[in-house]
Amino acid sequence: MSQYAARLGARRGRTLGSFAKPPLRRLGARRPRRVAMLSVHTSPLHQPGTGDAGGMNVYIVELAKRLADQGIEVEVFTRATTAALPPTVELAPGVLVRHIDAGPYEGLAKEELPAQLCAFTHGVMQAWAGHRPGYYDLVHSHYWLSGHVGWLAAQRWGVPLVHAMHTMAKVKNAALAEGDTPEPAARVIGETQIVRAADRLIANTEGEAGELIHHYDADPAKVAVVHPGVNLERFRPVPGGRAAARERLGLPADALVPLFAGRIQPLKAPDVLLRAVAELLDRAPGLRRRIVVPVVGGPSGSGLAKPEGLQKLAARLGIADVVRFHPPVGQDSLADWYRAASVLVMPSYSESFGLVAVEAQACGTPVVAAAVGGLPVAVADGRSGILVEGHDPADYASALARFADDPQLSERMGQAAARHAQSFGWDAAAAATAEVYTAAMGEGRRRLRSAHV
């Protein structure tokens, strides 16, 4: 536990460890039968790496599936983005996606969605009105926009609200990338309201739990830490490993391949990787003959303002010949990119957890990442990867030089990375989340009994 986290816990008469794990289910406490899960601004059906789709999409899809496997049905409410979408789609047995009409289907930026929350809430209430009373046992909202809809729905239905921030405005604003846009005051106010209203808050790491307490004055008793998981069936080492993956993707067998995978925006700092590669080639010009830098993903968020900005940066740095840009790919193809890489590079300014880092490690690929947010939990520094303090490209160049100078380092760290990732299975994450649900429901029933008395 960090000294920072310990101080936060001590200030409230407890340690972080006292809320770091979901409480054990009390004898006779009832698990929910059906959960209304809210994801206003991005659909679990969207391709991660495009627009606003990213780790949160993967989180919702995998969590919902595993909850259903454990006997908890999930209905995910999300905004319809095309007229061709059916009202409901079965994502998996026990998981239903409901498309809600709220605002124009296309061309609506995430920043414009607060104006559509009333319409979205109306659609959620219409769906609920078609069911018997008590149809949903609990609301689980994701991101602050969904939290406001969940707040109203939970009160109207008389059920608990469990909320996951995923990212927080105050945290992002404290670590802005150069040229990035600060999160608006309206979001800060909205997040503060949700923290007060929620019955339980799920944080990805102890660090995030500490940030909820420090920045939003969250009640530590309401905060539960549940590490996200990784699909260990999809993301895993396979026979032939790196060589076979490179052959499939058309990459040189003996090249140094530092990979960036994710949304292209200042927050994720893909520019730091390109600047680090330019620095590395200045130090070792001969490396140019055997380095390929894939950037797999699409512009997102503030990165949409300059969609060609990264390509232009590569040209200005004189490394356009070694950088390969690829559009976002499906999860199976993404696993191949991980396997093909010598190392995944994540120089992000803020990460609530860093699912991409765990996915890459599960495939047997080490990670060089910024020591921010949840990445120190996702990456075992010195064993499964290298954590870098700050965002100086020279420091990332030095980390990459270790892999260039020792071709066997990627293999050694990759084996440790695959072992490290085994502790992040989605089944365990879903079971822990179900315990949070059970605790929230039990507390709600106790409040009702007290009010009745």
Nearest to 80 by CA among 106, 59, 115: 106
427 forms bridges with which residues in the sheet?
none
**Contact status, residue 137 vs residue 434, Cβ threshold 8 Å:** no
Q: Average pLDDT, stretch 403-418?
A: 96
Where is the binding site, in residues?
A: 41, 47-48, 52-57, 110, 143, 167, 187, 263, 268, 329, 338-339, 341, 351, 359, 365
pLDDT class for 448, splitting at 50, 70, 90?
low
**CA 188 to chain CA mean position, Å:** 20
pLDDT, average across residues 215-229: 96
Question: By mean pLDDT, which of 101-105, 160-164, 280-284, 368-372 is the weakest?
Answer: 101-105
CA nearest neighbour of 252 among 425, 407, 127 = 407
| Banded pLDDT at 24 (limits 50, 70, 90) | very low
Annotated binding site for UDP-N-acetyl-alpha-D-glucosamine: 47-48, 55, 263, 268, 329, 351, 359
Q: Which positions make up the binding site for 1D-myo-inositol 3-phosphate? A: 41, 52-57, 110, 143, 167, 187
Least confident of 113-117, 156-160, 342-346: 113-117
Query: What mean pLDDT is predicted for residues 266-279?
Result: 96
Whether the predicted pLDDT of 165 surpasses 80: yes
Q: Is 336 helix (H, G, I), strand (E, B) or coil?
A: helix
Residues 313-371: pLDDT tens digits? 999 999 999 999 999 998 899 999 999 999 999 999 989 888 999 999 999 999 999 99
| 301 close to 258: Cβ distance less than 8 angstroms | no
Helix (H, G, I), strand (E, B) or coil at 201: strand
Q: Give dist(CA 62, CA 434) in Å, integer.
A: 14
The single-letter DSSP state of residue 436 is H
Report the sign of the C-alpha dihedral through residues 273, 425, 381, 361, in that order.
negative
Q: Name the E strands within 236-361.
A: 258-261, 293-296, 323-326, 343-346
In single-letter form, the type of residue at position 400 comes to L
Alpha helices in 158-216 (DSSP H): 169-173, 185-197, 206-216
Q: Which residues carry a binding-site annotation for Mg(2+)?
A: 338-339, 341, 365
pLDDT at 48: 59
**Crossing angle for the helix pair 117-129 and 143-157, to the nearest 10 degrees:** 40
List the structure tokens of 313. Answer: 């940066």
Distance of CA 54 to the CA centre of its chain: 7
**Average pLDDT taken over every residue of the chain:** 89
Contact (Cβ atoms closer than 8 angstroms) between residue 444 and residue 452 = no
Is pLDDT above 60 for 25?
no
Phi-psi region of 51 (alpha: psi -120 to 50; beta: other; left: phi over 0): left
Q: What token pair was written down for 247?
A: 């052959």
Which pTM was predicted?
0.83
Q: Is the pLDDT of residue 395 over 50?
A: yes
The yes-or-no verdict on residue 23 having pLDDT over 80 is no
Q: 225-258, pLDDT tens digit by residue?
A: 999 999 999 999 998 889 999 999 999 999 999 9
Supply 253's token pair.
């067998």
Q: 10: pLDDT confidence band, cut at 50, 70 and 90?
A: very low
Q: Read off the pLDDT of each residue in 207-218 and give the average, rounded to a whole number.
A: 96
Pure H helices in 98-174:
117-129, 143-157, 169-173
Q: Please report where in the chains the tokens 């905004």 appear, as a residue.
A: 79
Whether the predicted pLDDT of 219 surpasses 80? yes
- Phi, psi angles (nearest 5°) of residue 344: -90, 140
Tokens of 413: 């760290």
Question: What's the confidence (pLDDT) of residue 103?
Answer: 87
Task: Please identify which residue in the block is written with the tokens 């905060």.
Answer: 223
17 against 346, higher pLDDT: 346
What is the rounded average pLDDT of the residues 425-430?
93
Q: How confident is the model at residue 180 (pLDDT cuts 50, 70, 90)?
A: confident
User: Tokens standing for 334?
Assistant: 């993404």
d(C-alpha 105, C-alpha 81), whole Å: 4
Residue 31 CA to residue 91 CA, distance in Å, equals 22
In single-letter form, the type of residue at position 373 comes to G
Q: Are 342 and 258 in contact (CB under 8 A)?
A: yes
Long-range contacts of 385-388 (CB under 8 A, 24+ apart): 385/343, 385/357, 385/361, 385/413, 385/417, 388/347
- Return the percentage of the chain with pLDDT > 90, whole number: 74
From 376, 319, 442, 427, select the one nearest 71 (Cα to Cα): 427
pLDDT digits (tens, 9 = 90+) for 287-296: 999 999 999 9
Q: 43-83 pLDDT, tens per residue?
A: 888 765 555 556 788 899 999 999 999 999 999 999 998 88
What is the mean pLDDT of the segment spanning 75-101? 93
Q: Which residue has the tokens 């026990």?
A: 94
